[in-house]
A and B are shown apart, each in its own frame.
Chain A
Amino acid sequence: MGAKAQTSDAVEAAMRPAHIVMDVERLGSLYPYPLSFMRSLLRRVMREKWQITPAIFDLCDEGYGTAVYEVVTPNALFSYVIFAKELDAAARSDRVIAQDWDMTVTLCEGRVDEARLAELKANVPLQENGRVDASCFVLSRANKSVRNFEAVVSALSQGRQPDLDAMARVGYLYRTTAVYGSGKFGMANWKKVKTRWADFASPFFAEMFSCWMIRHFSLVQVDHVAAKRNPETSVKMDERIKRYVGIGNATGLGMAPYLINHPRLINNWIWVRETALARVVTDGAVDDVSRGNFDCFALKAMQHLDEISTDNEEQNRLNANARADLERLMSWFKKTKITSWRDVACFAQDNLTIEAQELINALLLELHPDLIMDLEDSLSVNEVYSLEGGMRAGDLKALIETHYDWALQIDFSDPKRQDMFWYRSEEKMEPRLGRRFEEPGAGSEMLLGIGWYVRECYNELCAYVEANGPDMMTARFAFEYPEHRYITRRMQTMAKTRYGEIRINAIDAEVLPIQLLRCKLSFFGVGKFDPRSRMWVRNTMFQGAPLVSDIGGDFGDTWCFPIRPSLS
């Protein structure tokens, strides 16, 4: 289904079944892996030696002003435009509904001249309230971690390196609060990006690049402000610490509908990941080198988990259990002569928590990049959901019973199974969750409770088949019941995919949207999840990643599970 890469029979046989993989608790336990978008992006940037240089750097002593970076790739020249301003503390909010930010940015094609810069300056800082043209393809903003930013500037200006304990706790100087692409606010459509700008033709490359550049600018900005504050004594931040500085991110409900509204794409991402895992456990050589690498990655992952700082008790419990489970696995691994990496995956599956299983799968995926890199080109898919009107109604009924059995098992007669509804708030259309039986707005519910729509369609279809017989065409059923046309074509399409839908009842009283968020963020390459409620999560991007100044140097692509640097 859109995936170009080939798989052997043995690999096919090793792939995990949909009912395991698409369980939302498991998807909510995924860790980043080598084909996560930010990892793929930086491999390309480093391999192709993109040139990133400041064309305009007009900042005042406090670091406010304009910067434009020119980005030269093998195919084109792009500009990354940044507006940094002084922000009143009372206006600083990570919510989509905020109106002002410390930093606003855009990524656009070509060189930015004075007139174009003026146009961008009039619109980019307004974000959703501004308009840009179709040469732009990312619009984003970020807020300072004020305490961390000031502490770092203060230390550097006094000739000291930042406090690593504080950096380990927070891990970034700025948090992005929204990263828009794909045609929003007049920008270029994803199809244009994909067909016109080969450098960014992979999913979310442009958005990830923007986040990486925000991180870059934040590091430049602290050095700049520290130097201006005290030119005599200031020092620049040590590059090892710089690599440990990521970019913070706050992700809320807005991301969740994306996963439910793009089931074919998500199926494809999962298919790629599962294929990669199956290849490693099937074909990955077990030798001294790979055993040693596994040992190193496991030690790094344990330290990484130890260093995650969150107030969320459940996340702390998950991290602690995963760490303990990993230690248990390593103890078994050291005294066991495994013959294939499947032994490790099986041990995890039989003995450890889901969180630990997925952690270990992420480690396995680091071992044999040669076996999985060709899958990188299979992450995009043309998302068409066509009604198969010629299908017999009886066959459609059987299809639902086979592929949507998980949805039919939900007992919607229990009010708790439909207690929530998703809606768009009048505040910037922010997606929100409401209680169906207590709050107004259920009449404007978003179409996200897929299981419920499946059940409604199935009930009508059963009656239709009963009345008209099983040979009637689906096209006639869809004509007579237009309210079921969408879910019907969706089910017909997804039934042909390997993994199908995410198995979630998104309107359940106990739904955990952060599981969806973490799933998507893991594909982005994000780590250090810090859930703030069941509806939003803070996290850190690009921590441990190479710097812009590393382009052209050695690059090992081993920056997963970032850990505190040793400065001795």
Chain B
Amino acid sequence: MSVAETSDDLRARQDTRPQAAAPLLDVDDLHTQFSTARGIVRAVEGVSFTVDRGEVVAIVGESGSGKSVTALSIMRLLPRLTGKIPKGRIMFDGRSLLDLDDEQMRQIRGRDISMIFQEPMTSLNPILTIGLQIKEPLQIHLGMTDSEAQARSIELLQLVGITDPERRLDQYPHQFSGGMRQRVMIAIGLACNPKLIIADEPTTALDVTIQAQILELMKDLSRRLDIALVIITHNLGVVARYADRVIVMYAARVAEQGPADAVFHRPRHPYSMGLLRSVPRLDRPRGGKLETIEGLPPNLADASTACRFAPRCPFRVAVCDREPPLFRTDTGSLSRCHRHEEIAAGKITWSSDGGAGLNFAANTTVPVLSVRHLTKSFATSGGLRRAGGTVRAVQDVSFDIYPGETLGLVGESGCGKTTVGRLILRLEEPTAGEIHFEGVNLSTASPAELKAMRRKVQVIFQDPYSSLNPRMTVGQIIGEPLHVYKIVDGRDQVETRVAELLENVGLRPEMAERYPHQLSGGQRQRVGIARALAMEPSFIVCDEAVSALDVSIQGQIINLLEELQRKFGLAFLFIAHDLAVVRHISARVVVMYFGRIMEVADRDVIYGGSLHPYTKVLLDAAPVPDPTIERQREPRLIKGELPSHLAPPTGCVFSTRCPQVSQECREIVPPLEEKRPGHFAACIKV
């Protein structure tokens, strides 16, 4: 008996109401507000959309655009005391959700509508077995007996592609990897055969190869089981791969909504146009400067009657002082822009700066940083009886970075890329290998030489929220190294220099008075960059420096980094997991997997003609923001997950997942060889 049949049976049993022709979910003029200490925040204003049975709808937007709040409003999971829905109507399957009492709503949640959250690490209860957590909704909502629920749980785990389900039911969440946990979450979401699944950033926390697996699984399940999906995401590539229809939200309102093809290929709102242009893309030739949407989203506590996007819109005219309604455009989409007809007529296009922004190595043969056979192992403490093992986080890594060059370092989580950065910064001591900075071997350097090196090597961290000391003002944060290293003398001098540095990163000098929590994410990242620049470095490690930022802000920061690089002749080690971003910014790219370098080559070679199977798989898994390409693409999915560091594979580390694996691969550790001039790969098959 196939799973799909069972599901149909189940649904037929549950669903006694007549099937209406009306859409499954009909959200009409939804308004959601939060009362906060600083007044009423209108998080969602006048959002209307419908979802048909079996349809996949994506809600895209930056943080604070109201996309998650829309989902929570549908589930009625808003904070009881502060959140309320003053206006609007949500019809689900013929019932008005806003008019149900709590008990009726509780029966709908998890049974007819289920929700999948972003963070698979924290959305499962760590002290209950997986089995218990899957069986719970079955027993509560469907009144199954324990053995029925057990049978259904096994079926569900098989459905989401977890092998050996009987055994895994008795395991705890920590025994599952991140991708496996997200599969379990999906299994729980599917448990009662819901009609609608709302997935809030379901793959954001996952690696790109795992993301591809999960996306494929969800798409497949929604088709097979005829479940409508609402996906909330900021990743345009994910939207293109998935969605039938797209809703682009900006500042609590719908900016544009329509079929995915229309919105992606013929956007009719300046914000969606800008959003699509501001992401570095794998499917287009690498241009010069990224085109960005300048400025910041508005504060939702301020009431406004103008177009919400007008302050950032390059095409704003007088009429934009009035809030535009949702116009129906020529492509069949709805756009909240007065000038949508001019956009359709091609009269308005984003201007392209083009040209600039190339960052190839200056003509020099002396590398600024040279890493040779770098190895780092961490000791793990075992239990009482087990002996502790060692985890080899980084093994035999060698590369050079030349002055003024950007070297991209890509890989999935746990591949050791961050450890490489920390070793170079001397935040960790290497177990073996050498790091030469400007000709000085750091492991034999004198304290004075090390101190001089500290000035020259700086870092920009991923998380703009935790990388600034919350107790210090921006001025103190940037000014501290100036004091300590006596780079400039005297209070006034320091203040002048801080103002100068702030201007360099595109902030106003008055910002020096502020504390980090008073700044937005992008502004904080700029402060982090200014702090690094204060030391007048020649080399900066950018550890996922733009990963935590919103798409439009990310473009601004990438442009800033490139501009600073040209201005000050900086060399960057750009560590990231986003292949498109790395391609945009780097001259050469190093691909790491499981602590080892897989491939090193010039950017265009890596993205155009990679040799190593892992690089191919990685590039293949990354979604691009173009629905036509995504639909044509044959999913060549990588199987399995990262091996355990406690039981590393013998031979080639990629042999456990490689599509071209042979017996030889499991025996020989492939050396990193120059296969073509300047193109290194560690694979015996090429």
**Chain A complexes with chain B:** no
| Chain A interfacial positions (CB closer than 8 Å to B) | none
| Chain B interfacial positions (CB closer than 8 Å to A) | none
